[in-house]
Amino acid sequence: MGYIYLMVSIISELIGTSMVKASEGFTKVFPVIGVFVSFSIAFFFLSLSLKTIPLNAAYAIWSGLGTIATVIISVLIWKEKITIGSMIGILLIVTGVVVLNIWGPAHNTSSNSVSTLSNVVEK
């Protein structure tokens, strides 16, 4: 269920981001309302997903897919141009998300290899 919540969060974030563009500097009322509603939904469902998905994996997926989908939306809806640099950046993001999900700290069961937040705070 956590991944369903995460997808709802990502979709809401994409709507909110598009509404930021549509608000034209927060000068249009309905897109501004859309920004606040969409981002509230996005963060609510992100918080629900974090009950079952590790933070590092959830945020990598959320930001990675959000970035990729935002580029696609900007090209298809807002008619913005995409450069080779953008394409390389997207490829690097996808690679990072895959690496984090396969080999990230959430998959390491050894207590000695990764410091916990409480250990860091105590030091």
The pLDDT of residue 120 is 46
The pLDDT of residue 38 is 98
Q: Which residues of 3-40 are buried (b: 16+ CB within 10 A; e: fewer)?
A: eebbebbbbbbbbbbbbbbebeeeeeeebbebbeebbe
Task: Note down the domain range covering 58.
Answer: 2-107
The pLDDT of residue 96 is 84
Residue 117 within any structural domain of the chain: no
* pTM as predicted: 0.77
Main-chain phi, psi angles of 31, to 5 degrees:
-65, -35
Measure the CA–CA gap between 43 and 25, rounded to whole angstroms: 22
Residue 121 within any structural domain of the chain: no
Query: Among candidates 62, 60, 44, which has minimal Cα distance to 107?
Result: 60
Q: How many domains does the chain have?
A: 1
Query: Tens digit of pLDDT for each residue in 58-108?
Result: 988 898 889 889 989 999 999 999 999 988 988 898 888 888 777 876 655
Residue 86 within any structural domain of the chain: yes
Residue 123 within any structural domain of the chain: no
Residue 115 within any structural domain of the chain: no
